Chain A
């Protein structure tokens, strides 16, 4: 038995060059190979990208520039084993291309294509020596996977950052409470009301009622595309809370669709004072406050 062992290990004995030291040399060898054939491989890659109809939002010049730097970064990661620079680059790249409507699948797609192109070239180079090819791929694959992972994660991170930023700015814009006359506030609601926004809106409204000593508040929901049950109930609660603070609330701008929805889902709006449009709401508010507006005939006519 013990004598048979060497024969079963024969295949590996055929490649005496592959000891530990050589394996450490593999990656540099590989990097050198990729550097050497840089132009051809990059063109291969660019060809594959356009075949797959990826990144069509970019001009050919931009494509050439970006593919070159992605390629160089890619090879550099293989060489140094550190993804930090690539992370930076991927984030910058994402920042540039996200506004142009590049999708996640495109970014992941081009990186996987590059991985494939390079792997094929390695196959070609080492195809005569399967043992060596295996070792090369063993060294190449984990690094390539890590690169694909890094790029995809950076892209998604960047995208999420952009989304967060936009959400923040929408939130800041979204709930102005406007004093129009003494003791009269207008609260125009623009855009979709979610729970978080509705809560914030109520908070701001109640605060403003106290600050401005408001007696009447007109909430205009012309700009709200849809009102669901949760939001309708929240509006009812806001009206109740305002009443506790001594202000009466008039809701205006209920579109026919919204009115229909509210009736269908059966939200109890009997306590709400609603008026068709903002103009009517303002007139009602002025009536409640005892204002009477009249046009001066000399300047008006």
Chain B
């Protein structure tokens, strides 16, 4: 239990939860992370979850399916999930190996992810039109 906080941090930011994975997790740590996060979604009544995987050099099939399940569970509990910070190599390896994140949203980095959640119904154009032009 005490190793948990060092590997993953889950922060609350308004209506959103920001979960950063700091280091490679093994399968059991991954499962515990999933539990913790879903617990907190209910606890804080969050509307959105951002999972930052920028620190990971490898995302294996178990991690992919866990993330996919996590997003689905969060959706069932009323939160939208965005995965951010997938590295170029990792992205291509995932695709090469046929690991599919399904309908989970992805964004470049934390900032993008927050904007996407704040922007509402997943259409980036609406937000950036008001901000940009």
Contact = CB atoms under 8 A, between A and B. Distances in A.
Output the residue of A202, A237, A243, A290 with the most chain B CB within 10 A. A290
A290 B91 contact: no
Interface residues of B, number: 28
A206 B124 contact: no
A202 B92 contact: yes
B124 A244 contact: no
A290 B86 contact: no
Contacts of A291: 132-133
Interface in B83-107: 83-84, 86-89, 91-92, 94-96, 101, 106-107
Nearest to B83: A244
B7 interface: no
A206 B91 contact: yes
Interface stretch (A10-18, A32-40, A163-171, A208-216): A208-216
A206 B92 contact: yes
Given A203-B92, A287-B125, A243 B106 contact: yes
A80 interface: no
A214 to B, nearest CB: 8
B128 interface: yes
Interface of A: 202-203, 206-207, 209-210, 213-215, 237-238, 240-247, 287-292
Interface of B: 83-84, 86-89, 91-92, 94-96, 101, 106-109, 112-113, 124-133
Given A202-B92, A290-B132, 4 more contacts: A206-B92, A243-B106, A244-B101, A246-B113
